[in-house]
């Protein structure tokens, strides 16, 4: 193992852990803020550290502090197997976290003739890993529901379990159709397949190649994450809070955070399998590296424009109404943040100028391409997390029998048909 | 079937409705529009950004914090008759009466305290007062303190509160 390989492995593991864990407070905040703005409210925007509110994201950290400092309370009827009661939310959380670790954040980087994966776990069988580990999460839910010795918890857990069975099948079958199409179980190879075009002008993304399979995959992943409109296992109108009724403090927070990690993982899987992963549409990695100069020029033009509009937007919105007198702390925050953004833009511009003028900065170019792809990945990830949030605050919850109906009587036959057609087309083409 | 019965056709059974996806698309369009509009201009959200913005829609009938009114010569209107303390459902008014020597009346309170932590702001004291001496027209809706004692308003503090709806002095004791 060379030094470069070790560095890349450490960096991509850190990146995976960071993207999964640091995304939790951001997503909790995004959910609350998004819900507010969708419903014409404002959402949490007051908590600050030294006047810096960052739009209110500090609230999530304050919440974590509150949950950690809360009393460790156990219901008195939980007498034996308390360790399993504590372990249950951890299983859910860790399963969601581990499932995220096989997502490629950028294409394989070639350093000194050696191709290195930008994956937290550099494995070739990402799809199998995701299906296996992703399904473990429901075991934590089941343990929690069963050990709570509570009817509501048990009902919630059994709902989660039966829903897992009814949605794991269409999920597996639609993934199988994708595996047949891409001819690989490696996520990175799937993304590489999607960087071409179909019919000459459409990007060869999964949603274009396999529209039905993509829709089934997205629906099944919504059910897999236990989120609205499939959140029957915690339907508060019928069964209080489902499997987490008896959980408090950090044990509850584990379930709560596990849900957001699962949502993040599901978005990552959706964009990797269906929406071209870390690739820009129509642009493959080789094209990026060969024509890096033109892309660098494009970024050099686009980035200041984007930053300008972001700063403009921030000054407009990081303030109370103009008619109201305030103490100027928001203006100060906006000023500091805009200075930081301008400095970052300048640094990026300088690096890009150097890279596009240097003659044979092969390593620098490929690292820059890697960073660009990571940025594209994170942007797509945030868009899909926002989509998850938008769905939650738009759609009402399905009734439990409707959920089962949809899974068994519609999605399962549709995914079977989809698999059949895919197999015929693939065999016919080859 | 009577002639006044109107049969409404049942909706939601067509293929388009059973497909769910068009309806989901329509719903998402609405919520997305709200999201984008509010992100683009968060000050257009019709929310009172409270500490910076104060409410402007407090009406004359709003029962704010209490005050003790004055006569036209700026002396206390209260005659310490204990009507308010008797009417009070939460027993939060504490009055100690003393003799009044300036010839206006026979009695006045030496202590008139309202425990606002006990008070339910029902306004019965205002209704009960025969001298128009206690009122709730200050428009004050927020009271802040660091200890429980800070919330027990004493006589002089209650006399300092101003009415904000035009009527300053007592209408019954001139």
For A227-272, the pLDDT digits (tens) are 878 888 777 777 887 788 888 888 888 888 888 898 999 999 999 8
Core vs surface per residue B20-47: b (16+ CB within 10 A) or e: eeeeeeebbeebeeebeebeeebbebee
- Rounded distance between C-alpha atoms, residue A42 and residue B44, angstroms: 10
Best mutation site among A53, A218, A334, A394 for testing chain B: the one with the most B CBs within 10 Å?
A394
Q: Is the same domain home to B100 and B19?
A: no
CB A395 within 8 A of CB B32: no
For tokens 């002639």, the residue is B3
pLDDT at A325 over 80: no
A310 touches B at CB < 8 Å: no
Average pLDDT over chain A reads: 85
Q: Is residue B36 a part of any domain in this protein?
A: yes
Q: Is the same domain home to B22 and B95?
A: no
The total number of structural domains in chain B stands at: 2
> Around Cβ A201, how many Cβ atoms within 10 Å?
7
CB A318 within 8 A of CB A334: yes
pLDDT score for B98: 92
Q: What is the pLDDT of residues B60-96, one digit of tens each?
A: 889 989 999 998 888 888 999 999 999 999 999 999 9
Q: Is residue B56 a part of any domain in this protein?
A: no
A77 touches B at CB < 8 Å: no
pLDDT score for A46: 83
pLDDT score for B89: 94
Q: Is the same domain home to B40 and B81?
A: no
A402 touches B at CB < 8 Å: no
Q: Is the same domain home to B86 and B156?
A: yes
Q: Is the same domain home to B19 and B74?
A: no
Angle at A351 between CA A350 and CA A357, to 5 degrees: 90
Q: What percent of chain B has pLDDT over 90?
A: 36
- Rounded distance between C-alpha atoms, residue A4 and residue A189, angstroms: 22
| Long-range CB contacts for residues B146-152, cutoff 8 Å, separation at least 24 | B148/B117, B151/B115, B151/B116, B151/B117, B152/B113, B152/B114, B152/B115, B152/B116, B152/B117
For tokens 């989509």, the residue is A387
Kindly give the residue spans of alpha helices, DSSP state H, lying in A135-283.
Answer: 137-147, 151-182, 187-193, 206-209, 211-224, 236-239, 249-273
Cβ contact, residue pair B21, A215, below 8 Å: yes
- Rounded distance between C-alpha atoms, residue A376 and residue A333, angstroms: 27
Q: Is residue B7 a part of any domain in this protein?
A: no
Rounded mean pLDDT of A36-43? 88
Q: Is the same domain home to B26 and B74?
A: no
Q: Is the same domain home to B82 and B152?
A: yes
Q: What is the pLDDT of residues A90-100, one digit of tens each?
A: 898 999 888 88
A313 touches B at CB < 8 Å: yes
Q: Which stretch, A48-62, A102-116, A372-386, has highest mean pLDDT?
A: A372-386
Q: Is the same domain home to B23 and B92?
A: no
Cβ contact, residue pair A34, B35, below 8 Å: yes
Q: Is residue B32 a part of any domain in this protein?
A: yes
CATH classification of the domain holding B130: 3.30.70.3270
Closest residue in B to A393 (Cα–Cα): B31
Alpha-carbon Rg for chain B in angstroms: 28
Q: What is the pLDDT of residues A270-301, one digit of tens each?
A: 998 888 888 888 777 777 777 778 888 888 88
Closest residue in A to B50 (Cα–Cα): A320
> Around Cβ B164, how many Cβ atoms within 10 Å?
16
Q: What is the pLDDT of residues A69-92, one digit of tens each?
A: 988 888 888 777 788 888 888 898
pLDDT score for A339: 92
What values do phi and psi take at A394, rounded to 5?
-110, -45
Rounded mean pLDDT of A148-159? 86
The H or E element containing residue B98 is: strand B93-99
Q: Is residue B83 a part of any domain in this protein?
A: yes
Best mutation site among B18, B43, B54 for testing chain A: the one with the most A CBs within 10 Å?
B43
* CB-closest option in A37, A39, A390 to B39: A37
Q: Is residue B169 a part of any domain in this protein?
A: no
Q: Is the same domain home to B136 and B74?
A: yes
A197 strand-pairing partners: A203
B44 touches A at CB < 8 Å: no
Please report, for residues A59, A270, A416, A426, the alpha-carbon distance to residue A188 in angstroms, rounded to integers and kept in the order given.
36, 13, 25, 20
CB A102 within 8 A of CB A192: no
Residue B28 structural domain: 12-47
Token reading at A208: 């274009």
Q: Is the same domain home to B86 and B34?
A: no
Q: Is the same domain home to B43 and B71?
A: no
Token reading at A99: 């499932």
Core vs surface per residue A12-41: b (16+ CB within 10 A) or e: beebbeebbeebbbbbbbbbbbbbbbbeee
Which chain A residues are Cβ-neighbours of B56 within 8 angstroms? none
User: Who's near A271: CB < 8 A, 6+ residues apart?
Assistant: A277, A377, A380, A381, A384
Q: Is residue B58 a part of any domain in this protein?
A: no
Rounded mean pLDDT of B37-57? 83
pLDDT at A387 over 80: yes
Nearest to B140 by CA among B104, B164, B160: B164
B43 touches A at CB < 8 Å: yes
For the packed helices A3-21 and A82-100, what is the interaxial angle rounded to 10 degrees? Answer: 120
> Around Cβ A337, how many Cβ atoms within 10 Å?
18
For the entire predicted model, the pTM comes to: 0.82
CB A242 within 8 A of CB A157: yes
Token reading at A248: 């408090």
* CB-closest option in B31, B41, B49 to A317: B41
pLDDT band at A11 (very low <50, low <70, confident <90, very high): confident
pLDDT band at B1 (very low <50, low <70, confident <90, very high): low
Lowest mean pLDDT among A6-10, A372-376, B16-20: B16-20
Rounded mean pLDDT of A164-186? 88
- Rounded distance between C-alpha atoms, residue A416 and residue A413, angstroms: 5
This model of the complex carries an ipTM of 0.82
Q: Is residue B116 a part of any domain in this protein?
A: yes
Which chain B residues are Cβ-neighbours of A325 within 8 angstroms? 52
Q: Is the same domain home to B16 and B90?
A: no
Residue A184 or residue A325, greater confidence: A184
* CB-closest option in B27, B39, B46 to A395: B27
Please report, for residues A116, A117, A373, the alpha-carbon distance to residue A6 in angstroms, rounded to integers and kept in the order given.
10, 11, 20
Which chain B residues are Cβ-neighbours of A316 within 8 angstroms? 41, 43
Q: Say if strands A197-198 and B134-135 run parallel, antiparallel, or are unpaired.
A: unpaired
pLDDT score for A305: 93
The H or E element containing residue B95 is: strand B93-99
* CB-closest option in A40, A322, A391 to B38: A40
């Amino acid at each position: 193992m060379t030094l470069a390989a070790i560095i890349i492995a450490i960096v991509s593991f850190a990146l995976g852990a960071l993207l999964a864990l640091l995304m939790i407070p951001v997503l909790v905040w995004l959910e609350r803020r998004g819900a507010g703005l969708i419903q014409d409210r404002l959402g949490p925007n007051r908590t600050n550290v030294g006047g810096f509110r960052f739009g209110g994201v500090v609230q999530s950290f304050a919440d974590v502090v509150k949950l950690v400092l809360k009393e460790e309370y156990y219901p008195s009827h939980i007498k034996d197997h308390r360790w399993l009661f504590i372990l249950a939310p951890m299983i859910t959380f860790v399963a969601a976290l581990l499932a995220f670790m096989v997502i490629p954040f950028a294409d394989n980087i070639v350093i000194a003739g050696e191709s290195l994966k930008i994956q937290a776990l550099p494995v070739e069988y990402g799809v199998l890993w995701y299906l296996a580990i992703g399904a473990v999460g429901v075991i934590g839910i089941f343990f929690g529901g069963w050990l709570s010795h509570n009817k509501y918890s048990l009902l919630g857990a059994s709902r989660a379990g039966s829903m897992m069975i009814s949605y794991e099948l269409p999920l597996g079958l639609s993934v199988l159709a994708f595996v047949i199409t891409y001819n690989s179980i490696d996520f990175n190879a799937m993304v590489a397949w999607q960087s071409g075009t179909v019919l000459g002008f459409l990007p060869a993304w999964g949603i274009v190649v396999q529209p039905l399979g993509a829709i089934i995959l997205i629906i099944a992943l919504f059910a897999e994450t236990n989120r609205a409109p499939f959140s029957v296992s915690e339907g508060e109108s019928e069964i209080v809070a489902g499997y987490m009724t008896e959980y408090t403090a950090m044990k509850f927070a584990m379930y709560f955070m596990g849900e957001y990690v699962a949502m993040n993982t599901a978005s990552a899987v959706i964009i990797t399998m269906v929406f071209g992963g870390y690739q820009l549409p129509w642009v493959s990695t080789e094209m990026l590296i060969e024509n890096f100069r033109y892309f660098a020029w494009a970024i050099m033009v686009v980035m200041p424009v984007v930053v300008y509009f972001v700063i403009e937007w921030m000054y407009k919105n990081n303030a109370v109404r103009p008619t109201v007198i305030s103490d100027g702390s928001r203006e100060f925050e906006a000023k500091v943040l805009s200075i930081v953004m301008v400095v970052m833009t300048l640094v990026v511009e300088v690096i890009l100028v150097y890279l596009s003028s240097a003659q044979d900065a092969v390593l620098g170019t490929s690292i820059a391409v890697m960073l660009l792809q990571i940025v594209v990945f994170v942007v797509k990830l945030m868009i899909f997390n926002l989509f998850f949030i938008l769905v939650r605050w738009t759609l009402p919850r399905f009734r439990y029998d409707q959920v089962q109906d949809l899974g068994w009587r519609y999605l399962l036959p549709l995914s079977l048909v989809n698999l059949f057609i895919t197999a015929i087309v693939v065999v016919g083409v080859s | 079937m009577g002639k006044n019965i109107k049969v409404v056709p049942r909706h939601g059974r067509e293929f388009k409705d059973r497909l769910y996806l068009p309806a989901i698309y329509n719903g998402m369009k609405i919520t997305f529009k709200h999201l984008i509009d509010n992100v683009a201009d968060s000050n257009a959200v019709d929310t009172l950004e409270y500490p910076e913005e104060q409410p402007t829609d407090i009406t004359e009938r709003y029962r704010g914090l209490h005050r003790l009114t004055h006569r036209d010569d700026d002396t206390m209107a209260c005659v310490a008759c204990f009507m308010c303390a008797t009417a009070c459902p939460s027993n939060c008014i504490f009055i100690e009466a003393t003799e009044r020597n300036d010839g206006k009346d026979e009695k006045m309170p030496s202590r008139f305290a309202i425990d606002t932590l006990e008070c339910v702001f029902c306004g019965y004291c205002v209704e009960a007062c025969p001298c128009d001496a206690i009122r709730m027209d200050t428009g004050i809706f927020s009271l802040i303190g660091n200890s429980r004692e800070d919330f027990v308003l004493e006589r002089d503090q209650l006399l300092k509160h101003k009415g904000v709806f035009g009527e300053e002095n007592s209408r019954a004791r001139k």
